[in-house]
Structure formats: structure tokens, C-alpha cells
Amino acid sequence: MTRPDLSGAAEPTPTPNAAPAPSADSASSFASLPLPPTVLANLQQLGYLSMTPIQAASLPLTLAGRDLIAQAKTGSGKTAAFSLPLLANLNPRRFAVQALVLCPTRELADQVTQEIRRLARAEDNIKTLTLCGGAPIRNQLASLEHGAHIVVGTPGRILDHLARGTLDLQALNTLVLDEADRMLDMGFAEDIAQVVQACPKARQTLLFSATYPDGVASLAARFMRDPKEITLTERHAANKIRQRFYEVEDSERLHAVGLLLNHFRPASTLAFCNTKQQCRDLVAVLQAQGIVALELHGDLDQRERDQVLVQFANRSCSVLVATDVAARGLDIAQLEAVINVDITPDAEVHVHRVGRTGRADGEGWAFSLASMDEMGRVGRIEQIQGGASVWHPLSELTVPAGAEPLRPPMVTLQILGGRKEKIRPGDVLGALTKDLGFDGSLIGKINVNEFSTYVAVDRSIAAQALRGLNAGKVKGKSVKVRQL
Ligand code: ADP
Ligand code: MG
């Protein structure tokens, strides 16, 4: 496969492997790959110092042009594993869609787009466009008219554009199916087949999945050309995730969640329930105790969903309560704890839930509440985890008298105004630090969305910052701000 020159017209052709002398772990160093120095330097800047196992196993093959089926758990770095070959196949001077990434949900598509943009920084002017349902099609048409090199989207909306003739895939050279298992769960098999029909036959196809059910295998067999298969089913490092089971009566289950939170005081917890009703009930119980808990569920509209996720990610919400379906594929860093409020009937699902904590070398807690009726499920979990579970009595969960309820360290302020108003994170940071004099260490994540900007500020300055922003200016304009 010929590789386009990634260096831009005026620069000399980059030498692959123009990298520092091999270090002790050169096998997992990105420098062992045929990537241009600009790309390697950008990875270094992003803090990607060595490859994750799935990247190390797949990139030598995919950068050589092979089709690939890769299975690895959530959080293992699959996005970069397909984004780097996709970018290597790209000719930035050709203004046509050359890569398409299909994702199951808009959130995942947004996350993938962000990661591709970060990785594409090594090269000027690579345009990546997200095309998902739930966003107005009119704006997408305008963006498509401006041209894009890479499109990331959900199968339904991509098909929609293909049918309208507003998306042309004739120049495509890389097709990625991300979270293929999830797309099949959501009934996208036929949509995917139709999208593939619209792609040129000569292309590289990469399929990524957290699990590898039969449906994924037959999907792959239909579309792929002699694919290489990689499976990384490493179990989580047992010492990093501390799992504890507590036996509960059904009547005390929701109360027990509050006990766990106030005893262990994790800053960010993902609580899994088996049903939506249980999610709703748990949020009500926790909120009544003064704990900031939010529910992630399918009935939220996109804006509400974004708000929930922003608040959780910026540490102004202590507990995100979700069913497995709602939580699937979320990439949330810094999760101190996972709570299995109910035991899932599917032992593999339990392993996935628990794998959400203790990521990125952090330590994590996984707590599970089990009633007598759920002991059969616990038995199956023990079987696939290959070990007996560790049980602790609920009675040891003590909360000192008069202790404050668990509070998140940050508070989210919502500024009405976003990308449409050309607000950038630096504008908000400037308003808070330069204009209002707050120390930068008290300001957390800043998320700029289309119509809104969310800034996390330390709880101790929330009221002052809210007043200050409302009275002052952001990017030279008065703004309306409210606390979420
Ligand atoms: P997956 O798709 O497998 O769930 P992601 O691609 O979302 O995982 O990656 C999880 C996190 O790890 C992201 O925040 C990403 O930026 C980070 N990451 C990916 N590759 C590396 C790397 N080689 N070094 C450090 N961090 C990485
Ligand atoms: Mg992913």
C-alpha cells in the first residue's frame, strides 16, 4: 500500500523511524512504528509515551494496510489504534472524505472526533466532521459543503446523507466500525451493510469491539478482506481494583449505597442498576441525603445528556446512576468507584462494569450489593473471575456522627453562549483569573458546546464566581450565567 506524504508540500519527506535510540521498552514505543516525526512529536505532547497493549498489537499490522478485527476492553486506547492508520492513509491535499468512522451513539462519535482532532494536530488543515442524529441536518449540510477529510457518525444519519446525495464516499480509503458489538445491539446491522455498499471495494476496514459475539464475526466476514484478528482479554489487574460484596435485604439496598458513599467518600462513582426504575429511585434516595447524584438514561434529550456527562466529568457530580445500556462506551477518567446496586444476570457484564474503575493506573473500588436471590449470579461471576468473592458486613460501614454528607469538590457554572458566540476555554479562564482574580488552581474543566459553556469551579468560590461572571464580561460581552 502506498502511503501519502504526510509532510506537506514544502517539507522534506519524513523518514520513518527517525526516532530516538531504542529504549528498554522500544517494543511498546510509538517510535518503533513507521510514523513521521511530526506525528511522533505530537503523541509525545499528548502524553502518549508508550503504546497500550491493543495499540502495540495492532498498529504494526494496520499501518501496513491490513484489515483488522480487534477486541479489547473499554478504556484500552482503541480510538488511537484506528485513528493513526486512518490518518496515515489520508492525503490532506485531497479535499474529499477519505475516512469514515461509524459509532453507535452521538457521545461516542463526539469522543472519537475529539481524539482524531488531537491526533491530527501534527498536520495542518485536516477537517473532521461529526454526522449524527439528534443534530439539525441543515447545519450538517453546510459543513459538508465546506468539505471534510474524515467523517465520524452514527449509521442512521450517515445513510440519510448518502440517500440525499450530500455525502460522497467515492474517495474513501479507510472504514472503521467502532464499538461494533454495541452497534449490533442497537439494531444497526442493516444500516451498516448499506453504508458499506456505498464505500469503494478497495479500502482498509478496521473493526473494533469490546466483546466479540457471533454477530460481530458474521458482520466482519461480510465486509472484510482477510482480516487479522486480535483479542486482548486481559483481566483487570486484581490488585488495582478492590472488589467487595455486601449482602443486603432488598429493602435496605438503596440506603446501603449512601452508606458506601459516605464511608469510602469516592469523588466520582458510577452506580449501575438493572432497571431504569431502580436508577430513578436511587437518585431520589441519594439526593434526599444531600448527595449530588444524576441519572443517565435514554429519555434525556441530547442537551440534558451532555449536561449530565459534563457535570460528572468535571467532578461536580459525585454519582452517575445508569443502566448498562445507558453507560456503555462512556470514557470517563478518574473513576474512584463502581457500585453494582443490583447484581447483573450476565457475569461478563459484571466484569465490564467493574473494569470501569481503576483505569489509567489509578486504583479503584468496586462494590456489589447482593441479596439472597442474587447469590446464583454471584456464583457465575466467581466462576468467570476465577476466584471467590470477598464479603464484608454492611455493619462495618460507619459514618462519624455529624459528618458532612459527601460533596463533590467542584460546582458547574453554565454560561449561556458557546461555539456559536466564538467563546473559547481561554476566554472563560481569562475572565475568571485575570478579570476576577481567582487563582487558576480553583478553576476546573471548561467545556464549550455549541450554545453553552460549562466551567467547573471550586465549591469554595462558586457563589463569588457566579456573581463575578454575571456582572463582568466574557470575550468583551456580558453573559448570563447560572449554577447547575
Ligand atoms: P477505548 O476506545 O478502548 O475505550 P479510548 O480510545 O477512549 O479507549 O482511550 C481511553 C483513554 O486513554 C483516552 O483518554 C485516551 O486519550 C487515552 N490513551 C489512548 N492511548 C494512549 C496512550 N498510548 N498513552 C496514554 N493515554 C492513551
Ligand atoms: Mg472506544
Give the ligand at the shortest distance from the Cα of 46: 1
To the nearest whole percent, how much of the chain has pLDDT over 90? 64
pLDDT of residue 299: 80
At residue 23, the pLDDT reads 39
151 lines ligand 1 (CB under 6 A): no
Q: What is the mean pLDDT of the chain?
A: 88
Residue 4 has pLDDT above 60, yes or no: no
Q: Give the ligand 1 atom nearest the CA of 111.
A: 7
- From 35, 73, 206, 331, mutation site for ligand 1 pocket: most ligand atoms within 8 A of C-beta: 331
Task: Specify the CATH class of 410-483 in words.
Answer: alpha beta
- The pLDDT assigned to 358 comes to 66
Q: Which residue has the higher pLDDT, 326 or 148?
A: 148
Cα(274)–Cα(323) distance, integer angstroms: 6
pLDDT at 182 over 90: no
Q: What is the pLDDT of residue 16?
A: 36
Q: Is 50 exceeded by the pLDDT of residue 375? A: yes
Tens-place pLDDT, residues 413-454: 999 999 889 999 999 999 999 999 999 999 999 999 888 999
Nearest CA to ligand 1 atom 26: 48
User: In the prediction, which pLDDT does 24 show?
Assistant: 37
Q: How confident is the model at residue 475 (pLDDT cuts 50, 70, 90)?
A: confident
The CATH number of 24-231, from 3.30.1360.120, 3.60.15.10, 3.40.50.720, 3.40.50.300, is 3.40.50.300
Please compute the mean of the pLDDT values over residues 177-195 and round it to a whole number.
Answer: 91
Residue whose CA is at the smallest distance from ligand 1 atom 10? 75
Q: What is the pLDDT of residue 214?
A: 80
Delimiting residues of CATH 3.40.50.300 domain(s) in the chain: 24-231, 241-396
Query: Domain 241-396 is in which class?
Result: alpha beta
Quick one: pLDDT at residue 1? 37
Residue 261 reports pLDDT greater than 70: yes
> Tell me, what's the pLDDT at 61?
96
pLDDT (tens digit, 9 = 90+) per residue, 277-296? Answer: 999 999 999 999 999 999 99
Confidence of residue 246 (pLDDT cuts 50, 70, 90): very high
Q: Which amino acid is at 143?
A: S
pLDDT band at 331 (very low <50, low <70, confident <90, very high): low
Would you say residue 55 has pLDDT above 60? yes
Mean of pLDDT values over 347-368: 80
Q: Single out the residue of 326, 105, 90 nearest to residue 203, CA to CA.
A: 90
Give the Å distance between the CA of 349 and the centre of ligand 1: 21
pLDDT at position 19 over 80: no
The number of the ligand nearest the C-alpha atom of 178 reads: 2
How many angstroms is it from 76 CA to the middle of ligand 1? 6
* Euclidean distance between CA atoms 265 and 31, whole angstroms: 41
Assess whether pLDDT exceeds 90 at residue 115. yes
**Residue range(s) occupied by CATH 3.30.70.330 in the chain:** 410-483
